[in-house]
Amino acid sequence: MPKSIHAKSPKIIAVANQKGGVGKTTTTINLAAGLVEQDNHVLVVDLDPQGNASTGLGINLEDREFTTYDFLLDEVDLSDVVQQTDNDGMWIIPATVDLSSADIELINNEKRSFLLRDALRQPAMADLNLDYVLIDCPPSLNLLTVNAMIAAHSVLIPLQSEFFALEGLSQLINTVREVRQTANPKLRIEGVVLTMFDARNNLSQQVEQDARENLGDLVFETKIPRNVRVSEAPSFAQSVLKYDSTSKGAGAYRLLAKELIAKHLRVAA
């Protein structure tokens, strides 16, 4: 495996799509696992009140004493909220349903949109020697998602290969543009990754064609196939790379991780 390139600060990527059921959490978990396999240190920030990324990485509900809610609203130290996962080199800040009230509780906070950015800049972050931070956003363009975009360097967008897939994309891209103009001028779109892709299905192929025609190089070459092993893995609290390392889904997420790393190396060159 390649040696890890530890930058002065990790690359922070928000995984976002306001549409539910597009493979957002699945992509966060398995991309993180793919990056770890390439000798990177990765922190997953579960910013979805459903807490599916936390469950999918084996953090039981009773073990979530401190969560992203505490991290954002109560300024709890990083060392108290970060938990090691079963994957060496991967940590998570878990979430619970408590996070669903954050929008209301933050409404009168002058720094409400910058809380995650500030929290992720704690000096203790250096102790984890991170290469990547992946933020699993909620399936909506709410204050939590805005926090993620302001904290992030880029936004990765999972796009399900189905009818009307591109319809909500313009709204998300507009939100990225607004955040760039008002709060995070360096924010960019990392790319769009096609999920639940079925090469035998004409619709999947049409979605891919439309996406590449409209978005060009923003669309990753790697496509995530519709694969039963990818669907089964979360119920065993594992990434698909650990659950079935030889499956097509595991192979696809490995390729996605390598493509992402290669893109960052080209930019840095």
Residue 253 carries which side chain, given as an amino acid letter? Y
Q: Tell me how far apart the alpha carbons of residues 48 and 51 are, in angstroms, rounded to a whole number.
A: 6
The distance in angstroms from the start CA to the end CA of the chain is: 20
Q: Assess if residue 4 is contained within a domain.
A: no
Mapped onto helix, strand or coil, the DSSP state of residue 4 is coil
The boundaries of the domain holding residue 34 are 11-268
Angle of the 24-37 helix axis to the 248-268 helix axis, nearest 10: 70
Q: Assess if residue 36 is contained within a domain.
A: yes
Largest CA distance in the chain: 51
Q: Assess if residue 6 is contained within a domain.
A: no
Q: Assess if residue 3 is contained within a domain.
A: no
Mapped onto helix, strand or coil, the DSSP state of residue 199 is coil
Q: Assess if residue 126 is contained within a domain.
A: yes
Structural domain tally of the chain?
Answer: 1
Q: Which CATH number is 122's domain given? A: 3.40.50.300
Q: Assess if residue 232 is contained within a domain.
A: yes
pLDDT digits (tens, 9 = 90+) for 107-145: 888 889 999 999 999 888 999 999 999 999 999 999 999
Q: Please, which pLDDT band fits residue 102 given cuts at 50, 70 and 90?
A: confident
Q: Assess if residue 5 is contained within a domain.
A: no
- Our CA angle for 132, 159, 219, nearest 5°, is 70
pLDDT at 226 over 70: yes
Q: Residue 12: enclosing H or E segment and its boundaries?
A: strand 11-15
- Token pair of 179 as six digits: 């955040």
pLDDT at 268 over 80: no
